Chains A and B, each alone.
Chain A
Amino acid sequence: MTPSVLLLAIVALSLIAFQVGRARALASVGGLRGVRNLHSLPGHYGLLTALWCGIPALLLALIWWSAQDQVLINLVAAELPADLRNLDPASFSLFLNDVRNVVAGNIPADQVSTETAGAASHYLRLRTISQWSIAVMALSAGVIALLIVRSRIRPEFRARNRVERLIEGLLFLCSTLAVLTTIGIVLSVVFESIRFFNIVPLTDFLFGTQWSPQMAIRADQVGSSGAFGAVPLFAGTLLISAIAMCVAVPIGLFSAIYLAEYAPYKLRGIVKPLLEVLAGVPTVVYGFFAVTTIGPLLRGWGVELGLDVSGESALAAGLVMGIMIIPFVSSLADDMITAVPQSLRDGAYALGATRSETIRQVVLRAALPGIVGGVLLAISRAIGETMIVVMAAGLAANLTANPLEAVTTVTVQIVTLLVGDQEFDSPKTLAAFALGLMLFLVTLLLNVIALYVVRKYREQYE
């Protein structure tokens, strides 16, 4: 029984359970006439039965499925002939990977060795058994729970209170998912990073200026130093983010000021949504725009000016990223500026200040904490942005401050290290997780500082 069929079966069983519970409750008071003798509405009895029937069955199935692959592959591995089991761990895991691929149908079974095909068919046999057994177990658990709840239904049974407590519990679980996600992120990057730092010392990673993650497979290979000094990546990320902020902050801030303070109502109604369109455009579109339009444009200008602009310059990526962030800065700044009470402006006008003096010396000062917070959030966005730099910035880990050269960033390297086939234990793969940890920590720190700045320095107006 495939997972989707089992899911449907569990849902169907729960629907039956609802009817059973409801009918039982009504029967216990002699039909609809005696319904006022029931403690709760008949539907509550049905719902309670359905929940108790469905949830355990579902949980059981989910736990089983999540463990199924590991257990099955171990079972298959244990049955393999001795000479295969005695292979070194790397080739053994490669063999198991092949088995998995045959099972998934990525490789036809007639293109692999007989051992692999045999193991794959063994796996498939076991999986069929496993799927049938979980189906039987989950459904019988559901039926047993159904019968237990049914036997306890009496007119004075407080079904509503129990249903509500159960649902409240479920709602609580929904809200903890955010915490679980954070824990999941931290655990997944921290564990792999620790393994990485066992191979490459933390100081080499943080302060090394050489980045070339190709590890030598043979000792005599050329150009595979396997250096993991991340400074060029950090520098590249900062350079591109700095260029992006140079574009986004002035344009975003000034357009927010203009739209909030000067623009006629009609113009604001047209231009504001137009700028916000920029925020809804997928980043991959910006990446494509940078590669096909801005990159060649800058290169052409560079040739005219006699400058050597790289085809994948930091400038192109940074400019386009800046365009992407404009609406982010401008909408945050707009919120902050409109939150400044009119009385402050009126006070400044009464003292004879012009509009720009009022804005510069009163409004912006009052809105400053919010704007600083917004800019910090924008920086964290620029640092974590992936697609634009993957497409428009290069792969070469240059340690340079020249925006016309190609640089690489943390996110680009994560993508290059992890896209495509890779084994899970090489320092190359693990390095991506170490970079991910850095990225997570830095963006988290920026967010925390931004929230702190906003909260601490925000003026409270009445």
Chain B
Amino acid sequence: MSAVSLIARDELRLMRRNRVAVIAFALLVLLTLAAALISWSHQRSIAETRARFQAQASEAFEAQPDRHPHRMVHYGNFIFRPLGPLAAFDPGVDAFTGNSMFLEGHRQNSANFGDVRQSSLLVRFGQLTPAFVLQVIAPLLLIFLGYGAVARERERGTLRQMLAQGVSARALILGKLLALALVAALVGQPAMIAFLLIAGQPGALAGPMLVIALGYAAYLALWAIITILVSALVRRGRDALLALLALWAVLVILVPRVAPDVASQAHALPTRLETDIAIAHDLHKLGDSHNPNDPFFTAFKERTLRQYGVTRIEDLPVNYKGLLAVEGEKLTSRLFDDYANRSFAVQRAQSGLNDGFGVVSPAIALRRLSMAAAGTDLEGHRRFLTQAEAYRYDMVQRLNRLQADAVSYANDTASDAGADQRKRISAGHWHEIPPFRFKSADAADLVKASVPGLGLLLGWLILAGLALLPVARHLQKARS
């Protein structure tokens, strides 16, 4: 057996004989399993609830009686974002961004009812998910089990003894690293079991799952290397523990908490109130379809009359009010899209800056990878918003066109006793509006989105691995 395997085997034997280490390891394994089960069951319940509400909302929309189409524009419809199966592993921003939207004419609503807004503030400290356990707790266990790996040998004099026996410092470091890496692999095992559970779910994606598995393996391997590096650099085990805990606090807790604040300071988003005022101001500038003197709508009216070769709107073969609604929705939607795009540009800049902190914190790089591959990152949220808006626009314009085609101008402007009944169209039209179907990103897109995070993590891994070389050389010369 090689010196590396012998040293690794002895290190594992030491851990096995350390009751506290065994208990800590068992607790972490149980915690990961519990997190996997809780998270899986939570996500299933969310998915079922959303599917039920979606069915209820669709049913209520389709159950509307014969009505004026514009009443249906304002009646609107609720849609819910279905969760991908990998969200059980890493729910990402889902708890913060909201998952349902009310779609109606003349306005774009934001997503509502994120878990954060529905539960206590404690959820902000991190939900108990397999991703959270592996990102935050698992490095602590590796630190706890490995801080003394090399420092202890130096402190007790066995390092010199070992080197004097002809064992190279490189073999010593590799042996210790191998032992800690095996522990890391065991730590990740329950999460992989959770993964297999998830893989049994419809819609699970092999490519993104593989990237996630690779990312977490690289992250835990990185912490194993960092732990051994510090243990080899510091003379005393106690100092190694303190240094590693400080590193953990900075890299896993502090930087990931500070980075979003820095990003939001650097790329400030206007407040909701500011946006609402600005939109109202711009809407006013667009024109007022009810104002006979409004220049835009006067021009629109003349253009329409010219197009149909008539001189009065009463002579048009279509309902002018319907055409006006189509045009108005087109204008306001363009404006809303513009604001939404600007807001997303800022959010993307914030996200980019935040992701850039992955250069100094591997935890950020891993979160980026994990959320991107699970489809629960900001881009996943934007995908939902974009599809929701496209659906809303299509639904509203279908109804507006129904107003133009199926309700006559005369009836639409009438106010006699039977007018209300004549303005109504058959409820069968509502059934023809297709239901909202969220199209989640395909595997290739998710993998592509997670590549930068994976690249950063692999960069960290290579750097840390290279740092072991001079440390081994330094250790080889250890005189004490």
A and B pair up: no
Chain B residues with CB under 8 Å of chain A are none
Chain A residues with CB under 8 Å of chain B are none
